[in-house]
Amino acid sequence: MTDIATQLAATAYQRVIRKRVVVLAALALTSLVAFALDLGSGPSSLGLFDVIGGIFDGNALSSAQRAILWEVRLPQALLAVLVGLALATAGAEMQTILGNPLASPFTLGVSSAASFGAALAIVLGIGIPGVPQNWIISANAFVFSFIAVIVLQSVVRMRGSGTDILVLCGIALFFTFNALVALTQFLASQQALQQLVFWIMGSLSRASWEKVRLLALVVVIALPFAQRAAWPMMALRLGEDRARSLGINIVMLRFMSLLRISILTATAMAFVGTIGFVGLAGPHIARLLIGEDHRFFLPASALTGAIIMSLASVASKSIIPGVLIPIGIVTALIGLPVFFSLIFSRRGLP
Amino acid sequence: MTSMTRRFTISAIAACVLGTCLAVAPAVAEPVTVTDITGRAVTLPQPATRILLAEGRQFPGLSLLHPDPVSLLSGWLGDFRRNDSETYAAYRQKFPAIDDIPVLGMGNDGSFSVEKAISIKPDVAVLGTSFAPGGRSSDVARQLEAAGIPVVFTDFFINPFDNTVPSMRILGRVIGRDKQAEDYVAFYEAHMKRVADRVAASREKRPSILVETHATPSDCCHSLGAANVGRFIAFAGGDSISAEVSKGPSAQLGLEYIIAKNPDIYVGTGGAHLKATGGLLIGPGFDAKTIQASLAAVVARPGFSELRAVREKHVHGLFHNMLSTPLNLLAVEAMARWLHPQAMTDVDPNATMAEINARFLAVPMSGIYWVDLK
């Protein structure tokens, strides 16, 4: 009897796992399609087949087309994917370690801190000495978002591992940095204000190969570590006591996770500006599709983030061909309907 | 001197004094009525000697009309000093009192302190159209008027193409210097007409042009749209590639669109405000070497080397702050020369600037306001 029950359970489990693998594979395929769509779209006549041909045979394209492919489309499309991977992974980890569905780099002040760093550079010209001038905004954004996460981490250390305090502190950071950004906006000249507002709305127009390489490096290092922490994270979802009884060092787990979150978010934000929706909704969409199992949930979140960003990139350059609509606006506008439809379609299910 | 002679002298002096008073008094006391840029008729008991300037950037307008424009200001916003620190420094050198003018707010209309404005009791408040009914800060005008301060709207910023000339006339009327205003308007219109005539007569094709505002290597590419300031581009004989896709005042163009459109001419605008972020440095206070280096950095961005304008060295820099002042005709002339070098042989912005300096401006412009990439 027991054997049969065990066998049934094992079969059911295998079925669940198989289903999750299928969903994950579907997400991976969708993200590839979205990336291809992004690569193949733009205000010039360069289509997807030209792009693919151009990648393998440089002589197939005119020099202007080569410039469009190598200096515009590829870096922007790759940066979109990487930013999606980074922000959604950071959001997923944050929601788990804080046990709070509203947690994301945006809602807990990390993005506001990045904006403040950028604002200091744009409005007041304050930057880190020695940083080249055209990196000064990115460098400031990076440093300030990093500071925000360090503050969150020190709260964890000071007050033990209470997540409520951490969330409250994050919200306080959000308001503090928002107020500081508003103050710099108030002080800003009309010209600087325009620059700052555009920075805050997020844009892929700042893409370059250097930025792609740097963010790729960060993603390639951070994501496997996040994946390796999937089991203890799952244990944490069962409750802190249970996780502790399984021998997990919760303080360390949280610290390492916040470190990954800070580096992923800070680097992504530094390069493209503030993009709020992906870090919050990416993980939720993934959770609705695949469940809480972190081995699948993390990669699913990352892929969902990449899909959202690629599709947003397509939309941002296609709504008015020639004009770039800031991608931070687009992610929310195209992501929200998907998000709502998923929430409401799940409501009736058991 | 006999007593009679003395009496005669005294009465002659008295008559002279009285006569002078009679001659001057009506001019001082006479009310002036001005129709402002929004079409409102405003009557001042006499020409204003204490003006509240709610957009510091309108200051060059006063400087074209009055030998001591600083003496006219009873208060202003801090934007002129902030946006154009080098020009401000030049004014300070001639008029140290400029530092003592009360500052009513920082860089934008949202920071305007109405209470302070009322407390300094100006003869008139000259406001930009963002303060006009329907504008972002329209409450300010209502509050000032409630406090008995007449309000006059002018505009060199939102629609300088249409509003520069009437705004100069309004400023002239407000301070009782209509003649100087008419002189400048005549000068302005003659120069604009010459450009328009040369463009109309030109057989050259209209080149395509990208005017990138606040050009900086770290982002791409904010540009003037078809409306407002963008109309100067069409007037100067160019087809702006951004006007095709943006009917409004400005837009952020994608680099791919720019490469695909492949403009004949590139013009970046900049100034001291881009110092912090490594953008195009041009205008008063910067030497030729600095300007050339920053302009070269702007067009060294990835993808720009593909543009015809860059390959064929039709790359230019323009001082941004000129666009929203009555000095915008200099920008028009500079652009017209870049767009139609053959047709514009007698159009010389340097000569125009020299004439403006000699005839009008209280503090002459000095520095490099437009440049070709060498």
Q: Do B79 and A206 touch (CB under 8 A)?
A: no
Chain B residue closest in CA terms to A39: B256
Confidence at A102, pLDDT banded by 50, 70, 90: confident
- Is B260's CB within 8 Å of A133's CB? no
In the predicted structure, residue A158 carries a pLDDT above the cut 90: no
Q: What is the rounded average pLDDT of the residues B94-121? A: 86
Determine which of A134, A200, A316 to mutate to test the interface with B (most B C-beta atoms within 10 Å). Answer: A134
SS3 A149: helix
B83–A67 CB contact, under 8 Å: no
Same fold, B32-176 and B206-372: yes
Cβ of A193 within 8 Å of Cβ of B251? The answer is: no
A34, A310 Cβ separation under 8 angstroms: yes
Look up the pTM and report it: 0.83
pLDDT for B23:
45
Better pLDDT: A239 or B282 = B282
Q: Nearest by CB to A187, which of B107, B275, B302?
A: B107
Q: What percent of chain A has pLDDT over 70?
A: 97
Residues contacting B105, CB < 8 A, separation 6+ = B77, B78, B111, B112, B113
CB-nearest partner of A67 from B242, B259, B275? B259
Give the pLDDT score at B3: 52
The domain segmentation of chain B, as residue ranges, is 32-176, 206-372
High-pLDDT (> 70) share of chain B, %: 91
Q: Could you tell me the pLDDT band of residue B189, with boundaries at 50, 70 and 90? A: very high
Contacts of A76 (CB under 8 A, 6+ apart): A38, A204, A205, A207, A313
pLDDT band at A348 (very low <50, low <70, confident <90, very high): very low
Measured CA to CA, the distance from residue B195 to residue A94 in angstroms comes to: 62
Res. B29: pLDDT tops 90: no
**Residues A272 and A82: beta-carbon distance below 8 Å:** no
Those residues whose C-beta lies under 8 Å from the C-beta of residue A6, and which sit 6 or more positions away, are none
In which band, very low, low, confident or very high, does the pLDDT at A213 lie, cut at 50, 70 and 90?
A: very high
Which of A305, A235, A291 is CA-nearest to residue A17? A291
Structure confidence at residue B217 (pLDDT) = 87
Q: Which of A234, A296, A268, A276 is nearest to A28 (CA)?
A: A296
CA–CA distances in Å: residue B196 to residues A329, B184, B201, B202, B206: 41, 18, 9, 10, 13
Instruction: Please tell me which residue, A347 or A299, carries the higher pLDDT value.
Output: A299
Question: What is the mean predicted confidence (pLDDT) over A277-292?
Answer: 89
Q: What is the mean pLDDT of chain B?
A: 89
Contact partners, residue B264, CB within 8 Å, separation at least 6: B207, B208, B209, B308, B309, B312, B314
Average pLDDT over residues B260-276: 91
Which of A43, A136, A323 is nearest residue B252 as measured by Cβ atoms? A323
Q: How far is B177 from chain A (nearest CA, A)?
A: 30
- Which spans in chain B are helix H? 3-29, 59-65, 79-83, 85-94, 114-119, 138-146, 160-174, 178-201, 231-235, 255-261, 288-298, 308-311, 328-339, 349-359
pLDDT category at B14 given cuts 50, 70, 90 is low
Q: Which of A187, A210, A324, A329 to mutate to test the interface with B (most CBs of B within 10 A)?
A: A324
Q: Would residue B195 be called left, alpha or beta, if left means φ above 0 and alpha means ψ between -120 and 50 degrees?
A: alpha
pLDDT classification of A37: cutoffs 50, 70, 90: very high
Share of chain B above pLDDT 90, in %: 66
Residue of B nearest to A118 (CA): B277
Q: Percent of chain A, pLDDT > 90? A: 30
More confident residue, B364 or B229: B364
pLDDT at B144 over 80: yes
CATH number of this structure's domain B206-372: 3.40.50.1980
Measured between CB atoms, does B253 come within 8 Å of chain A?
A: yes
For the B32-176 domain, the top CATH level (class) is alpha beta
